[in-house]
Amino acid sequence: MNILVVMIPLSILLLIGAGIAFFWAVEHDQFDDMDTPKLLPLLDDPAPKQDRQGAGFPPEARGNDEQDISAADESK
């Protein structure tokens, strides 16, 4: 029975916290556009490809595409 003394005020505080979170979300326009997020994965616009000469590739993996192309032209 003593647990009710703890649980009832705790549940009331939880209810108040959930209400505050809900009204904050409504106030900050979190529920304005409910249709677009579910359609974003269906868009056909691919992400831009990064240049191999930078961004995360170690120097030995980058290669030198110009030398490869010129070597292929000389062998013809």
Token pair 């939880």: residue? 14
* Contacts of residue 31, Cβ cutoff 8 Å, sequence gap at least 6: 25
Amino acid present at 42: L
d(CA 40, CA 57): 29
Report the pLDDT value the prediction gives residue 55, as an integer from 0 to 100. Answer: 57
Mark residue 47 as left, alpha or beta (left: phi above 0; alpha: psi -120 to 50; beta: remaining): beta
Report the pLDDT value the prediction gives residue 21, as an integer from 0 to 100. Answer: 97
Least confident piece of the model among 22-26, 34-38, 39-43, 58-62 = 58-62
The mean pLDDT value of the chain amounts to 76
